[in-house]
């Protein structure tokens, strides 16, 4: 009897002293639609994030659909909870989604502000943290003036970028390697943008338009290449990045003053280096937008919510989508909502 008790006490002590026990993850049946065609679902930002906390299973009849509808209504075939996200500044339609992730500033508990560069750019926040950089070596590699990679000059809102490109070229040629304004005779290959940018002191980071919250990959990728970005766009960009680390068109009284500052830094290596050594993040610490625990907590709360999904709520109109709901047969005839067809 004493031996048995001693063994039990020893077993209890081992449990208490052992590393934290790993509990099984909650299952999450998930699907995507309207994601970029070259991106496998398992490579999506949200899949990788959710897989850290859930046992994610990609199925045809999910508990959660994540979609980015731009001109398509395929998401309306689903009757589960739906999360909308966007690569642009489009506003969510809460008549069609239960919650949303966009770059906009919205005072709505169903909305989570997630800047585009967070879920679009590879490398994450650490790729623009400078604390381990050899800045003198980086400076020595900056042998070219300024670069631009763009494919959009069609819309009126891009006129600011196009006109400024031509005016800066009056001082010194800006190498443009995109499909638009190309002056190199070749295009920067898909996936080769960062390598292309690294030798340049400056990089265009003009957004397609100016809108609060609308900061895309353009600024972030210029930072990844350790250029001094030339920025125009989000009027609140200083809330996300250290304004001493880049040149913001909006901080200057005129276009002429902006160009004069660029020329000053181009001609004075010491002044240029003052910008290069500035951290992109305040205190060289990633911003709250890269806080995965906070984002996962938002998902947890929304998945646990007892509120009925908007796609299952009654409508006063009998429309064509009512007849072809993705899960209608499963719900009406008692099938398993989480199994495939």
Cβ atoms of residues 134 and 123 within 8 Å: no
Are 137 and 107 contained in the same domain? no
Domain that includes residue 110, residue range: 26-120+290-310+324-331
Residue 216 lies in a domain: yes
Residue 206 lies in a domain: yes
Let me know whether 297 and 273 are in one domain.
Answer: no
Q: Which of 92-96, 244-248, 282-286 has the lowest average pLDDT? A: 92-96
Question: Mean pLDDT across the stretch 142-149?
Answer: 98
In a domain, 20, yes or no: no
Kindly compute the dihedral angle of the four CA atoms of residues 193, 72, 124, 104, in this order, to the nearest 10 degrees.
Answer: 110
83/159 same-domain check: no
Pair (145, 174) in one structural domain: yes
18 within domain boundaries: no
Question: Is 46 in the same domain as 79?
Answer: yes
Residue/partner pairs of 39-47 with CB below 8 Å, 24 or more apart: 45/118, 45/119, 45/120, 46/83, 46/85, 46/119
Same domain, 151 and 215: yes
Question: Rounded to the nearest 5°, which phi and psi values hold at 76?
Answer: -75, -10
Give residue 333's pLDDT. Answer: 41
Confidence of residue 87 (pLDDT cuts 50, 70, 90): confident
My answer on whether 198 and 303 are in the same domain is: no
d(CA 205, CA 216): 9
Q: Residue 142: inside a domain, yes or no? A: yes
Residue 315 included in any domain? no
CATH of the domain at 248: 3.40.50.11660
* Same domain? 53 vs 110: yes
- Residue 65: the pLDDT is 96
Give yes or no: residues 245 and 297 share one domain.
no
Instruction: Flag whether 67 is in a domain.
Output: yes
Which of 220, 225, 255 is CA-nearest to residue 237?
A: 220
Mean pLDDT of 235-264: 97
Number of domains in the chain: 2
Q: What CATH number is associated with residue 40?
A: 3.40.50.11650
Both 35 and 134 in one domain: the answer is no
Mean pLDDT of 115-135: 94
| DSSP SS3 for 141 | coil
pLDDT, greater one: 69 or 150: 150
Residues 98 and 140 in one domain: no
Looking at the structure, tell me whether residues 104 and 176 fall in a common domain: no
């Amino acid at each position: 009897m004493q031996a048995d008790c001693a063994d039990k006490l020893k077993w209890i002590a081992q449990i208490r002293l052992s590393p934290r026990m790993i509990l099984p993850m909650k299952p999450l049946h998930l699907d995507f639609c309207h994601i970029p065609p070259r991106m496998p679902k398992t490579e999506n930002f949200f899949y990788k994030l959710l897989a850290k906390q859930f046992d994610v299973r990609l199925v045809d009849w999910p508990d959660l659909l994540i979609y980015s509808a731009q001109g398509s209504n395929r998401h309306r075939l689903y009757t589960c909870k739906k999360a909308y996200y966007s690569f642009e500044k489009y506003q969510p339609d809460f008549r069609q989604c239960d919650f949303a992730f966009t770059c906009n500033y919205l005072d709505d508990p169903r909305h989570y502000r997630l800047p585009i560069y967070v879920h679009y750019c590879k490398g994450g926040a650490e790729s623009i943290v400078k604390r381990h950089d050899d800045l003198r070596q980086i400076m020595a590699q900056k042998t070219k003036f300024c670069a631009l990679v763009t494919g959009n000059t069609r819309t009126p809102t891009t006129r600011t970028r196009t006109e400024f490109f031509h005016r800066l070229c009056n001082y010194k040629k800006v190498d443009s390697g995109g499909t638009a304004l190309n002056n190199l005779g070749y295009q920067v290959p898909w996936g080769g943008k960062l390598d292309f940018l690294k030798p340049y002191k400056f990089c265009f980071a003009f957004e397609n338009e100016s809108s609060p919250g609308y900061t895309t990959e353009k600024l972030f990728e210029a930072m990844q290449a350790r250029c001094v970005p030339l920025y125009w766009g989000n009027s609140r960009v200083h809330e996300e990045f250290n304004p001493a680390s880049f040149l913001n068109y909006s901080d200057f009284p005129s276009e002429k003053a902006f160009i004069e500052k660029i020329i000053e830094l181009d001609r004075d290596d010491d002044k240029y280096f003052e910008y290069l050594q500035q951290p992109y993040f305040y205190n060289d610490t990633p911003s709250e937008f890269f806080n995965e625990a906070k984002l996962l907590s938002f998902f947890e709360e929304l998945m646990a919510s007892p509120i009925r999904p908007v796609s299952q709520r009654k409508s006063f109109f009998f429309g064509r989508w009512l007849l072809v709901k993705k899960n209608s047969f499963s719900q009406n005839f008692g099938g398993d909502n989480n199994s495939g067809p």
